[in-house]
Amino acid sequence: MKSKYLNIVITFLFLTVCSISCFSQLESEQSVVNEKFSEANNLYNDSKYEQSIQVYLQILDSGFHSPDLYFNIGNAYYRLNDIANSILYYEKSLKLDSSDNEVINNLNMVKNTLIDDIAVVPQSFFDEQLNKTSNLLSYSSWGIALILFAFMFLLFFLIYFFSKTTIVKKTAFASLFIIIITILITVRISLNAYEKNYLEKYAIIFSNKIEIKADPNERSKNLLTLHLGTKVRIINNFSDEWVKIKLVNGQEGWIKNNQIKII
């Protein structure tokens, strides 16, 4: 019996030591990232934009990603007049936090310098409001909200089931109905946020001038010309060389993979 308890104590101590060790390692890694981030920011403030980008990219290579990091990289590229890369990293920042107005304003400012001015196909009122609402929070935040509503449903169901008072039962039943409607709406918003952030793929054109083809081959008909910095949606990967894209005006065509960078 003593041996059994001793084994439990040893196991507990071992797990505790491992947890402390992992936590210390994470703290150490975070400290290194913070130092690198401060170094890159100082280089940026000293107008050493190329050097700051190198340090920012080192942080990315270490596996750390954040909206602020992508935003700062986008700013540094903009200072170097590298429009395509600045748009790419602003878009990456918005992919992690779509509600950041500062990033949105900077992105719109940079887009005003682009050659291509493609008219956007108007959305239906429902789609427009759905997209606006889903952009208020990240996909993970909508998931957390959904879990909270589920717990609220369970709580009010228990109140309804066990309560002996009529007024309490009626209130709980009405609350259950409202929560069900809220859950259904939140599920739809969460699915839209998931689709926009994980299922749909977008890219930025990194060639000064490219021809959009009707088919995935060089001899195919040219549909239109696009220029550096334009955002396109990828809808099909034909091969390692060709991808099918869709523009905001609904027009589709084919371009080479080496002419774009994925957001």
Same domain, 11 and 97: yes
Is residue 16 domain-shared with residue 106, that is, in the same domain?
yes
Q: Tell me: pLDDT of 12 over 50.
A: no
User: pLDDT band at residue 10, thresholds of 50, 70 and 90?
Assistant: low
Summarised one tens digit per residue, pLDDT across range 151-184 is: 999 999 999 988 888 899 999 999 999 999 999 9
Assign residue 25 the CATH number of its domain.
1.25.40.10
Structural domain includes residue 119: no
Is 80 part of a structural domain of the chain? yes
Res. 141 pLDDT band, cuts 50 70 90: confident
Considering the domain architecture, whether residues 10 and 104 belong to the same structural domain is answered as yes
Last residue of a domain, one of 199, 232, 253: 199
Number of compact structural domains in the chain: 3
Mean pLDDT of the 243-249 span: 90
**Residue numbers of the domain that contains 40:** 2-111
Residues 105 and 139 reside in one and the same domain:
no
Q: Are residues 172 and 192 in the same domain?
A: yes
Based on the fold, state whether residues 106 and 53 are members of the same structural domain.
Answer: yes
Entry pTM: 0.71
Tell me if 57 is assigned to some domain.
yes
Residue 117 belongs to a domain:
no
DSSP for the chain, written as a single string:
-HHHHHHHHHHHHHHHHHHHHHHHHHHHHHHHHHHHHHHHHHHHHTT-HHHHHHHHHHHHHTT---HHHHHHHHHHHHHTT-HHHHHHHHHHHHHH-TT-HHHHHHHHHHHTT-S--PPPPPPPHHHHHHHHHHTTS-HHHHHHHHHHHHHHHHHHHHHHHH---HHHHHHHHHHHHHHHHHHHHHHHHHHHHHIIIIISEEEEE-SSEEEEESSSSTTSPEEEEEETT-EEEEEEE-SSSEEEEE-TTS-EEEEEGGGEEE-
21 and 100 together in one domain? yes
